[in-house]
Copies of this chain bind each other. A is one copy, B any other.
Amino acid sequence: MGHRLADASAPARLAAPEEGIGRDELALATRNHGLPLEALRYDLTPPGLHYVLTHYDIPYVPDDTPWHLAIGGRVGRPLRLDLADLRAFPQVTTRVTLECAGNGRALLTPRPVSQPWLVEAVGTAEWTGVPLRLLLAQAGVEPEAVEVVFTGADHGVERGVEQDYRRALPLNVATAGDPEVLVAYAMNGAPLPPQHGRPLRLVVPGWYGMAHVKWLREVEVTDVPFAGFQQAVAYRLRRHREEEGEPVTRIAPRALLVPPGFPDFMSRARVVRPGRVALEGRAWSGRAPVTCVEVSSDAGRTWRKAELEPDTGHRWAWRRWRYDWTATPGDHVLSARATDAEGHGQPLEQLWNRGGFANNVVQRVPVLCVDEG
């Protein structure tokens, strides 16, 4: 008979070979959802199609609920700001592609047991809010400061540790001018939907989703590195349990295809007819601008350059690419891969770590070209 908090949590584990997705993974998959890949067609992802990952419950914040953001710690003038105070600061809108650090996890062998993403944990939105650097300048960051810790209102337990969701950024990232970290109150011109952090969230262009703290309540400037659960235990790249591991930070390059043709309901196999098939998709990197996208129609053996849309000035958003493929009857595997200006690319074989983080293995889209009908 369990009476202790630790009884709610199971240890981290890897799935056994051939082990199907479990009830716990499914319970996460039915509530957190990805971008249906056909929605890669939208420059800006409609909110209900944008991926969502919430560790605990979505806090219930009806419209008339008072909300305050506290800014404190190693600052000269602690602040307590309501939404009207925040709207009085200069307003910035940035188009940002957000991707979950665990994207691709369910394709890994062995599979880390957690939110079982295939490749769809991504979305792009225009986020509007106050540059964090302006808030920190107003509060007056003290010289000893090294990090800024962000606390959300979402509360739960993880590996036996009861916690509000909390993550930190290095001071130089938090106060940077390009990109600016935002305390955002709008998504695509409307108030944040509940699942995207209503009424306030952090947006950290170029970083994986775990950094973009939702339901933001508190900003604390610290003079020691943050050692909380989501920083020191979760979101680290470890091959072995005992390692300290590197922290997960910026988004690795990835290209995805809009699946061509039409699907089978159950197998999700794609069906096309012979002839020209206009392929398109999106590519992004949080490290440097995407400079090249290549397409393969033979499971990665040969590659051709795709046409990358001209630079739209949205550095932190995905770019569209196109490629004309001539389909012939039979089975094909389509793939796309992105390379960024710093030379980061995508591997053909998985990059494995125990958390299933930052995996950007090349997507494989099986397509059946039928010669009937």
Contacts and interface: CB of A to CB of B under 8 A. Distances in A.
Interface stretch (A69-77, A155-163, A206-214): A155-163
A329 B3 contact: yes
A265 B157 contact: yes
Interface stretch (A27-35, A85-93, A311-319): A27-35
B1 A157 contact: no
Given A4-B372, A30-B118, A38 B58 contact: yes
Given A21-B20, A21-B21, A106-B26, A368 B39 contact: no
A49 to B, nearest CB: 6
Interface stretch (A109-117, A127-135, A290-298, A353-361): A109-117
Copies of this chain, whole number: 2
Given A29-B29, A31-B33, A1 B262 contact: no
Interface residues of A, number: 78
Contacts of A271: 5, 8, 157, 162
A235 to B, nearest CB: 13
Contacts of A56: 262-263, 265
A64 to B, nearest CB: 14
Given A57-B38, A117-B30, A262-B157, A269 B193 contact: no
Interface centre among A31, A32, A56, A158 (most CB of B within 10 A): A31
A21 B22 contact: yes
B162 A373 contact: yes
A268 B162 CA distance: 13
A78 interface: no
A266 B114 contact: yes
Contact of A47 (B47, B57, B373): B47
A259 B117 CA distance: 24
B264 A156 contact: yes
A194 interface: yes
A218 interface: no
A60 B24 CA distance: 33
B41 A34 contact: no
A195 interface: yes
B22 A264 contact: no
A36 B118 contact: no
Interface string A169-189: 000000000000000000000
A10 interface: yes
A331 interface: yes
Closest 3 CB pairs of A and B: A20-B20, A33-B33, A48-B48
Interface of A: 1-5, 7-10, 19-34, 36-39, 41-42, 46-50, 52, 54-58, 60, 106, 113-114, 116-118, 120, 155-158, 162, 193-196, 259, 262-269, 271, 329-331, 368-373
Given A2-B331, A32-B33, A57-B263, 8 more contacts: A1-B331, A2-B330, A9-B266, A9-B267, A38-B57, A38-B60, A49-B195, A57-B259
